[in-house]
Structure 1
Amino acid sequence: MKKILIASLLTTGLVAGSFAAGAAANAGNGTVVRVIDGDTLVVSINNSDQTIRLLNIDTPETKDPNQPVECLGPEASKYLEGLLPKGTQVRLEFDAERHDKYGRTLAGVFTADGSLVNAKIAQQGLGIPVEYGGNRRFLPPVTAAYEEARAAKTGLFSEGIGCTLPAQLAEATQGLETATAASPATTSAAAGTAAGVLAAKVAAAKALRKILNGDKATERALFWAGLSTVVLAKHVSNLDKKISAAEAKAEDTKALKATLAAAEKKAEEERAAAAARAAAERKAAEERAAAEKKMAEEAAAAEAAAKAAAAEAARKAAAEAERLRSLPAPAPIPAPYVAPAPQPYVPPAPSTKYTGPRCYAPGGKTWRPC
């Protein structure tokens, strides 16, 4: 430890001196140079920049090359930047160990009004209390601020910030409840969609349950949630019940989808058959209408032809009458000869006169001997 401390002092450019003298020189007041992340900053002390690691507070990672940026890590850094902008005068107070294994100075940082920055970060729900070796001096105020944030559901404990475990837990629980309580679908497509939603909600809830059960890959995420063992067990049990209910609903929805699909297929077949019948009836009606139309057209054509023939005959008759009227008047037609009625034969009375041949004059009234 003594070797690390001496190396740190040399690195910061302090003048050579005894270990006690160097420690005394690093105590007291300083000026903020810049903020590194939510729990680390650079402070100028006696014209020498020193990296200060806030004691008894740990904020989500943003700078660790071996870890992804953690939930609310950027927000913690931004909060510290706003609280301690460049040039801010601060007071540093130390505990038993002055430096960590990275050579950073371990301290409690106070603002001009006497506020402990370490605790203010925890109060915002942006960090959790931790103990570094034997350094416990600032742990009580940081822990009290942490409990205040947890009770107020602030920062890492908020259900309204999507990346926090409480928010993920609330979202998963609500998602399962909503999907499970949804009304049964009325179409196979809607049932398929509902089954897909249920499957997605169950998968998300199982992934979260893996985190809550302490999956090593996400241990820090669980750490930030600040869930006690009892509360954690309660959440896991509740989540398991909702997952089981959602899985049962998913199976029912799949069965409903099959039933609806069969009913829809039958209805479609019936609709197609009805459509085919309707089409056949329309075609027959159209053919009847076409035949009737053709008959009507033929009758109309015949009637028109008859009317045309009658009109033509009337025209010709009129023309003939007109022609006859234009001819000169014909000569009177002599009355037909009517022969006189024959007279009854009256034999002549015997005569004693000439009995020789007689030649009658025209009219037969006179004669002369021939």
Structure 2
Amino acid sequence: MKKLIIASLAATGLVAGSFAAGAAANAGTGTVVRVVDGDTLVVSINNGDHTIRLLNIDTPETKDPNQPVECLGPEASKYLEGLLPKGTQVRLEFDAERHDKYGRTLAGVFTADGSLVNAKIAQQGLGIPVEYGGNRKFLPPVQAAYEEARAAKSGLFSESIGCTLPAQLAETTKGLETATEASPATTSAAAGAAAGVLASKVAAAKALRKVLNGDKVTERALLWAGLSTAVLAKHVSNLDKKITAAEKKAEDTKTPKATLEATEKRAEEERKAAEARAVAERKAAEERAAAEKKAADEAAAAAAKAAADEAARNAAAEAERLRNLPAPAPNPAPYVAPAPQPYVPPAPSTKYTGPRCYAPGGKTWRPC
């Protein structure tokens, strides 16, 4: 399986030669000391550290003090660190020019399985093909890997990595479309907010168009996008159309916004007038209720006074009646009960007091 993989990579230029070829005059071997950035590393060769600049590949900037860290620059460095950790044995192949103006050694770097590191970086979409003077030896495999990344929309071609130009194009275009196609606002505030969104989206699109048109400040960013002239022109034309549509929508929003503001102003005035009427009516009702209560209280007080006066008159008349009554008769002497008499038992009777049996006719009797 490993042989099949190497053969497949060799067909695209990602693998070239083997460690056995290290003895050739135009090649050498070494041990990775550290990675500097996405296209530069330090290799120990014959007990001496040498800075190696990978040929025919350029990755986003991370170390230049005069340049900001560029999109996917840190990712390119991390990828190279993972591919060539400290202590990794590598084979170096050289081209016509061995050193650049900074004294770095220019080389193609191969791993133990023969993979060309320069091309593998391009295959991840983390760098672009470049030519250094007459050094073109590794340009074909790097270019092939770069096209593979473009087709797969990897790395710098990805629309899901926010800093890439394809992602910015997708996001900016989608933002313009969404703002332009938004439903009409139903309030002046919503209309104002929609106008603000449109203005911000148009400004972002114009800034991106400036980049696509080759603004010198962001010229390197264009390189990472890998846009051909035809594709670039298509994107610019598409952006121009959407910017025009968004600006027209923004202009068209002004009239409805003014109308909504006038309608809302009238509605607010009517609301305030209705509120004032309600307040006045409530105050009048409270005043009527207070007047009615006062009248009721006064009537109750008058009725209470009349009743008190009537009661006073009645009391005076009763007093006068009582004064005119005749003097009452003297009270009789109090009843004194007689003293109880002593009990005297009756004298015994000599008469027969027992039962009597009468003779016929009832004139005579006899004791029974």
Fold conserved (TM > 0.5)? yes
TM interval, shorter chain, is 0.7 to 0.9
Q: Which residue of 1 aligns with 2:166?
A: 166
Structure 2 spans left out of the alignment, 5+ residues: 1-22, 330-368
Aligned twin of 1:205:
205
CA deviations on 1:179-235 (whole Å, 9 max, x unpaired) are: 011111111111111111100100000000011111111111111100111111111
The correspondence of residues 264-275 of structure 1 with structure 2, limited to 5 A, is 264-275=264-275
Pairs within 5 Å for 1:225-240: 225-240=225-240
TM-score by length of 2: 0.80
Residue 242 in 1 paired to residue 242 in 2?
A: yes
Normalised TM-score (structure 1): 0.79
Alpha-carbon distance, 1:318 to partner: 4.3
Q: In structure 1, what residue type is equivalent to 2:116? A: L
- Per-residue deviation at 1:26? 8.4
Residue of structure 2 equivalent to 1:112: 112
SS in 1 for 2:95: coil
> Does 26-35 or 193-202 show the bigger shift?
26-35
Q: What is the distance in 2 between the residues matched to 1:151 and 1:281?
A: 77
In the alignment, structure 1 residue 46 sits paired with structure 2 residue 39: no
- Residues 37-80 of structure 1: per-residue CA shift (max 9 Å, x gap): 10000000010100000011100011112211111111111111
Q: Is the 8 A contact 2:35 2:41 kept in 1?
A: yes
Closer, same or farther in 2 for the Cα pair 1:312/1:33, shift >3 Å? same
Larger Rg computed on CA atoms: 1
- The correspondence of residues 145-164 of structure 1 with structure 2, limited to 5 A, is 145-164=145-164
Work out the CA distance in 2 between the residues paired with 1:322 and 1:273: 73
Alignment root-mean-square deviation, CA = 2.0
Going from structure 1 to structure 2, the CA distance change for 1:316 and 1:114 (only over 3 Å counts) comes to: farther
Partner deviation per Cα, 1:274-305 (whole Å, 9 max, x = no partner): 11222222222111111111111111111122
The offset of 1:135, in angstroms, is 1.5
Equivalent pair of 2:60/2:70 in contact (CA under 8 Å): yes
Matched, 1:33 2:33: yes
**Partner SS state of residue 148, structure 1:** helix
Residue 188 of structure 1: aligned partner: 188
Q: What is the number of residues matched between the two proteins?
A: 308
Instruction: State whether residues 25 and 46 of structure 1, in contact with CA within 8 Å, keep that contact through their aligned partners in structure 2.
Output: no
Q: Which residue of 2 aligns with 1:290?
A: 290
Distance, in Å, in 1 between the alignment partners of 2:312 and 2:152 is 112
What CA deviation, in whole Å up to 9, does each residue of 1:244-276 have, x standing for no partner?
Answer: 010011111122221111111111111111112
Which residue identity is paired with 1:220? R
Cα distance between partner residues in 2 of 1:320 and 1:216: 126
Which residue identity lines up with residue 48 of structure 2 in the other structure?
Answer: S
Amino acid at match of 1:198: L
Listed as ranges, the matches of 1:92-131 within 5 Å are 92-131=92-131
Is the 8 Å Cα contact of residues 188 and 260 (structure 1) preserved in structure 2?
A: yes
After TM superposition, give the deviation of residue 314 of structure 1 in Å: 3.4
Shift of 1:319: 4.6
CA contact 2:198–2:246 (8 Å) conserved in 1: yes
2-side partners of 1:209 and 1:297: how far apart?
A: 85
Instruction: Give SS of 2:34's match.
Output: strand
Counterpart CA distance in 2 for 1:62 and 1:46 is 29
Q: Which residue of 2 aligns with 1:139?
A: 139
Residue aligned with 2:29, SS? strand
Work out whether residues 26 and 45 of structure 1, in 8 Å CA contact, stay in contact via their aligned partners in 2.
no
CA distance in 2, matches of 1:304, 1:284: 30
Residue 63 of structure 2 corresponds to 63
